[in-house]
A and B are shown apart, each in its own frame.
Chain A
Amino acid sequence: MSIYGEKLDRYKLVGQPTKRLDGEDKVTGRAVYAGDVYLKDMVYGGCKRITEYPAQVKKVNIDKALAIPGVLHIYTCFDAPKKQSWADYHYLTDEVKYCGDVVAIVAATTKELVKEAIEAISVDYELTEGVYTITDALKEDAPIIRKKGVGLKDGVPTEGTKGNIFYDSYFPIRKGDVEQGFKEADVILEREYRVPYIEQAYIEPEACVVYSDAKDGFLTAEASAQNPFFTRRYMADASSLPMKDCRLVQRTLGGSFGGKEEGVGCQVGRAVMLHLALKRPVKMVNTREESMMDSSKRHPFIINYKIGVKKDGSIVALEGTLVDNCGAYNNQTQFMNWRASVHSGGVYEIPNVKTDTYGVYTNNVHSGAMRGYSSPQVIFAEEQLLNEVALELNMDPVELRKKNVLKKGGTTITGQVLTEEVILPEMIEHLLEKANYYKVKAEYEEFNALNKGIKKGISLVTCYRGAGLGAEGADASGAFIQALEDGTFIINTGLAENGQGLQTAFAQIAAEGLGAKMEDVRFYGTDTHAIPDGGMTVASRGTTMGAQSMKTAGIELGVMLKETAAEKLGTTVDKVLNKDSVFTNIETKETVTMADVCVSRLWGGDQMAVYSWHKPKPLPFDHHTGQGKIAFPAYTFNCCIAEVEIDTETGYVDVTKVTSGIDCGTVINPDTVRGQMYGGIAMGQGYGVSEELEVHKGKLGNPNFDSYIFPTSMDMSIMDLVLFESETKEGTYGAKSVGEPATEAVGAAIAGAVSHGLQRPIRTLPCDLERVLLGKSLRPGGDL
């Protein structure tokens, strides 16, 4: 283990803080977001939704709307060229399953006219019976929401039965013999935990402009798409055009966190249909309310655990049922729940494990990707469970964790032996010292004994996260670098800058191999006509896995440039040092510049560009037992300490300090890592104390940011970060995932601190005013 900064001499650029490539444009307002794109003859599009659901639409009356001057086109769910998308979601539908379903789309010359037209459309429909909560969806007599749903048999989802379970999202873990394990246990606890819907809450709502470029006839969309190639699939689908005629250009993204995937895809699909009908550019921009209805949410879970421990704290058996609410449509839960199942036992060595993870369909807003992809939920539940075990054993909760955490050579609950360095035990010690944990804890306990109104709490959480996609999918990617005659470079990849700092990290990784200066590298933002599909920018895979090909491309092109430099310097390649865009003969100290080398290569007819592809080795994994040699090639270990002050007279929780340490493998750029960690703590703080999308009978109770409460800068705690480094053969230059680890432990740590301060278990999130004071929410929402 090392702390960032101790091993800076390994690389030229990797590990250095550098100026963020997209930073200046963003802070000066020069960056162009999709909503900022204006084209000649551009018109606006919008969606008609109904306010009651589920419902069967009988008729959509559009005559009044069409009569409004300036209203140009309306498609209804009965005459649109395409209704269901290639994925599970619908562009338009007459079977309205949830609040986001669209029954008509409108194009008009102004935004105001679009709104008027939408109001002028009336819809005749019949209401049908709905199901909203996990508990109701699992009832035997529940109405069936989706034909493909299955039921439970002997407590597990079973094909051939009828019900609301999304079978593809079912993942069992079977390790050892839990019955035997529980027999060996001295203490057995059974507990239920619940976590709510969470909105990504990016500042920029989804937006796109769709047009045809007269020059080449391309169907082009400029969109706020997290995954450009994924969104192109919707373009080709909605237009019935071959993919060669569909071009998706990603505009600067104002945040995504998993939210700008299917929602943006459907939005672009609708704009494509209106554009093809009118042959004029069509812009669609969601209002905040539309964004909240339309975009996916972090899954709510009900998690039941049964844990068996020995008196000394060692965990001998864990049984769990983790059920999440998918909403009406889903293209994510079947991937996400695998991750949930792999991590369902926390970062602990447990010999006997039996967990079942599955999702249920309801008439709620659909769940999908939201920074963490199941981990904030699962970590909250299993870490509170551990706190409860510690209380039961009268054991220090940190000691309990230290006793059970995975170490090098340990076996995960999926049967993977950790062969690489596992720095978690050292991380815990370092963080305990950094936060002065035991002293602070003793002080807080003394304070609490003397004070009635205010209580203070502190808690440590440990967890780990499989880096990248792992056995969930092929974690492959491609990268392209071209050298220009003046010694500068353009790099391009199928992965996308989503605000996480990908441009900067990729430029650094490319420049490392090229021996170029950072400022001589430009990142070409994602354009699907300019680079092959390199998979999605998800799962915190961008730098750790997605940049593998960028590293190779940089090194390959770097070698070619070195060859030319060696020729010019009258020496051999091994005598040439490439750094800061200068080649030096290490013997004579003679130099040539990158520009000299590039211009020679150009006029000499030498190769000036490299495209590289990286496909990692296959990971054999048995999805029936949840066992395999390798679920993920590498794991990011994580430790987080939160401190809170609880006002027991009002229920207000003030998060006072968060100490967060992440095993980054290799830090590529410390500034972007810190940026991720600060942002992750902010999101985790929201998860811990205030955020909850109130869904009641399918309706959103707080569909805007005046009532969906996430922390402001005024609310942020003191944040103390530790960037740990460790040895790993996997990952680009040894980098591990950071984006999601940065947030996944924070909510759990805050809940633990509240639990410590109040001396009572916390089994639901968020720890908001009413839950803390009364132990329950008073708001009508909160259907899980």
Chain B
Amino acid sequence: MGRFIYERPGTIEECLKSLKEPGVKKLIAGGTDILVELRAGKEPELEYLLDVSQIKELKGITEAGNKISIKPGTTHSAIGKSALVKEGLKILAEASDTVGSPQIRNAGTLGGSIVTASPASDPTPALIVANGIVTLQSADRGTRHVLIEDFLTKPYKTSMEKDEMLVDITVDNLKEYKMAFVKLGRRKALAIARMNVAVALKLDGEGKVTDARIVPGSAFPVAKRIKAAEDMLLNRIPTEELIEEASNQVAVEMIKVTGIRWSTEYKEPVIKALVKRALKKALEVK
């Protein structure tokens, strides 16, 4: 671990001011990712560590019209317990409850998870399903809003500028949707997702799909909605065969992007199974 200066800004404004000043800087909220990275020597150039864990404006979950606003400093356990999230986007609550262990969930934050941009993030697929938008703020340029799907550019990379910080995450309230989150790990706790899937479906009175959102995690370099599979479901009744077809399409799309890799032999059949399982779970069919 190198030597760096530790700062603890009290407000967003103070933090932004500090980010504007020269120097290689990183924010720490829960520290569940950055401390691991620092220990592994992955930030050799770091000069300043800005601790945002005490900034009150960065915490909390509120209803904003037909959307839910989650401040980035909110912990995974707070999200898992939130009645608002459970009602409007229960897959985010469920996904948050599968992050690491109780200790990690009590410390780790949703903002931290998004900014770390791990392809195996548990909450990210649920956020993308809900068309999640991040608000980034800088001292000089004010705020800008970016779809999380676009914000994540590569594994462990985002489009955040050096002087920016994440100040809000807004997701659709999907109260009307049927949804499910499925995670496969190597064990039941403290498991990094081998693969996960978040899905949400809206059905009309006849049982036809009017909106479909399918987001696998750990399958693509960055999590994203699989439009080709979603479109298959639109305006149709999700029968066993249709679910199968859409699930297979996710695997086809995965291979299009990643090509055949050492892990494809495993991931191809399993992503199909997990998407199928998630869709069935959402539709409450066996």
- Which A positions have Cβ atoms within 8 angstroms of B? 112, 115, 453, 649-652, 690, 706, 709, 711-715, 768-770, 773-774, 778
Contact = CB atoms under 8 A, between A and B. Distances in A.
Contact of A649 (B188, B194, B270): B270
Contacts of A651: 266, 270
Contact of B266 (A706, A711, A770): A770
A115 B41 CA distance: 11
Contacts of B270: 649-651, 769, 773
Contacts of A714: 187-189
A774 B1 contact: no
A778 B187 contact: no
Interface in B174-228: 184, 186-192, 194
A778 B189 contact: no
Contact of B194 (A712, A713, A769): A769
A712 B187 contact: yes
A595 B87 CA distance: 68
Nearest to A686: B187
Contacts of A770: 266
Interface string B38-67: 000000000000000000000000000000
B186 A709 contact: yes
Contacts of A774: 265-266
Interface residues of B, number: 20
A205 to B, nearest CB: 14
Interface in B145-194: 184, 186-192, 194
B263 A778 contact: yes
Interface in B68-116: 101
A715 B189 contact: yes
A768 B273 contact: no
Interface of B: 1, 101, 184, 186-192, 194, 262-263, 265-266, 269-270, 273-274, 277
13 contacts: A115-B1, A649-B273, A650-B184, A650-B270, A706-B190, A713-B189, A715-B188, A769-B270, A773-B266, A773-B269, A774-B265, A774-B266, A778-B266
Contacts of A773: 266, 269-270
Given A712-B190, A773-B269, 7 more contacts: A649-B269, A649-B273, A649-B277, A650-B184, A690-B186, A709-B191, A778-B262
Contacts, number: 50
Most buried by A among B1, B188, B269: B188
Complex A-B, nearest 4 residue pairs according to Cβ-Cβ distance, in ascending order: A649-B273, A714-B189, A714-B188, A712-B189
Contacts of A711: 187
Contacts of A690: 186-187
A306 to B, nearest CB: 33
Contacts of B191: 709
B192 A769 contact: no
A652 B181 CA distance: 17
Most buried by B among A649, A713, A768, A774: A649
A769 B266 contact: yes
B187 A715 contact: yes
A624 B186 CA distance: 45
Contacts of B190: 706, 712
B170 to A, nearest CB: 31
Contacts of A778: 262-263, 265-266
Nearest to B265: A774
A648 to B, nearest CB: 9
Contacts of A652: 184
A774 B262 CA distance: 13
B192 A706 contact: yes
Nearest to A287: B39
B101 to A, nearest CB: 8
B188 A650 contact: no
Nearest to B187: A715
Contacts of B101: 712
Contacts of A649: 269-270, 273, 277
A650 B189 CA distance: 17
A453 B269 CA distance: 13
Contacts of B188: 712, 714-715
A650 B262 contact: no
Contacts of A713: 189
Contact of B1 (A112, A453, A715): A112
A715 B190 CA distance: 10
A650 B273 contact: yes
Nearest to A716: B188
A682 to B, nearest CB: 12
Contacts of A706: 190, 192
